[in-house]
Amino acid sequence: MIVFGSPSRYIQGAGVLSRLGQEVATYGDAAALVVDPIVLERYGAQMADSCAQAGVRLAAFPFAGECTDAEVQRLAGQVGHPRMIIAAGGGKCLDIGKALSHRLGLPMISIPTAASTDAPVSHNYVMYDSSHKLLEVRHLPRNPAQVIVDTQVIAEAPRHLFVAGVGDAIGKIYEVEACVNARGRNIFSANPALSALALARACHAILLDNADQALAAVDQHRPDDAFEAVVEATILMSGLAFESGGLSISHSMTRGLSSVPQYARTLHGLQVAYANLVQLRLEHRPDAEIQALIDFYGRCGLPRNLVELGGQPGPGDIRAIAAGTMTSPHINHFPHGLSIEDISDAMHWLESTRLAA
């Protein structure tokens, strides 16, 4: 059995936030907006006007910053009886929106304000405890109803978030291919869909062709065709690819990297970017192919080794990362079995070769 999941509608373009009201009116006349305080300050009036024109009452609830059960409970006690949850902000803000919509049984509308991860289209969300430690990954019964991506908003977000999004997306091709070859399962616990594999390949090609020009557009805060293409690849294609195609070593490594303090605080997409190189080494890919990816990373500003990810590894760090990686549910989505030593060896190789130099 294959399963392919997706939002009902994905809307992307410069200025599309002004269409918010007409897009969401189909779900009812009252919406609760869970929103990053800075996003509320910048775009709150625009969103409220758009909703008012479409006859939708929009009540805003600033997000306190951490995706915990206590925060879900706090928000659930405040929102009253809306017909939908709209979340506008970064990854954790979208996750709290998903958690709230899950708890209240309401449709979820994602408005990512940075293209930093593959999460906005997915039915996954991550809960943390009050000390910011990852508690568990949960799943909505359905994907978000709508994902609305205003590329003018994305172009005004910090550059490093955009770069992280490229890092999260560029290696989906390797992860989905590995999962398919290993007969692994996708995030719906079903067989990977070939459509997801096709999307992962297209995502990779689009990023290689357009990332340089898109980064120039980020610096100008002016979305152009290359920028639009990269945003679609990092948010839509990458999200659909991992969820219906499956994950492998790169995302498994985020567990290990998050267990070592100096790499734990780096952005998810940067962790994944580094881990893509480890996965390619574990696949015994030719040095030239790894070098080509390293060259691309150099142009984008993505980490090519642990030093660039967060600093020189301390004694035992590499082994600890490898051991943490082995605890991931995606670790067996790989054509051959792996050990802590295999992963440590690949990491040591990346630190020592300096292909990038």
Copy the structure tokens of residue 157: 């977000």
Return the number of the residue (148 or 272) whose C-beta is nearest Zn ion: 272
**Which residue lies nearer to Zn ion by CB, 24 or 115?**
115
Q: Which is nearer to Zn ion, 23 or 118 (CB)?
A: 118
CA distances for 228 relative to 166, 208, 210, 231, 243, angstroms:
13, 14, 9, 5, 22
| Closer residue to Zn ion, CB minimum distance, 50 or 143 | 143
Residue 251 CB, shortest distance to Zn ion, in Å, is 6
Comparing CB distances to Zn ion, the nearer of 102 and 251 is: 251
User: Rounded CA gap, 28 and 26, in Å?
Assistant: 6
- Shortest spacing between CB 253 and Zn ion, in angstroms: 11
In the complex, what is the shortest distance from the CB of residue 91 to Zn ion, in angstroms, rounded to a whole number? 9
Minimal distance, residue 42 CB to Zn ion, in Å:
26
Beta carbon nearer to Zn ion, 71 or 118:
118
Which residues sit at the interface with Zn ion, rule CB under 5 A? 118, 168
Which residue, 243 or 317, has its beta carbon nearer to Zn ion? Answer: 243
C-beta pairs of 222-230 under 8 Å, 24+ apart in sequence: 222/155, 223/14, 223/151, 223/152, 223/154, 223/155, 227/151, 227/155, 228/12, 228/13, 228/151, 230/115, 230/162, 230/166, 230/206
Distance in Å, CB of 252 to Zn ion, minimum: 11
Of residues 172, 308, 151, 117, the one with CA closest to residue 227: 151
How is residue 99 written in tokens?
A: 């958690």
CB of 306 vs Zn ion, minimal distance in Å: 19
Beta carbons within 8 Å of 107's beta carbon, 6+ residues apart:
27, 83, 84, 85, 101, 144, 145, 146
Q: Which of 164, 243, 235, 228 is nearest to 197 (CA)?
A: 243
Instruction: List, in sequence order, every beta strand (DSSP E) within the chain.
Output: 9-13, 30-35, 57-62, 84-89, 108-112, 124-128, 134-139, 146-150
The nearest distance, CB 168 to Zn ion, in angstroms, is: 4
11 closest CA partner among 244, 231, 209, 242: 231
Whose Cβ is closer to Zn ion: residue 118's or residue 232's? 118
- Kindly state the smallest distance separating residue 220's Cβ from Zn ion, in Å: 27
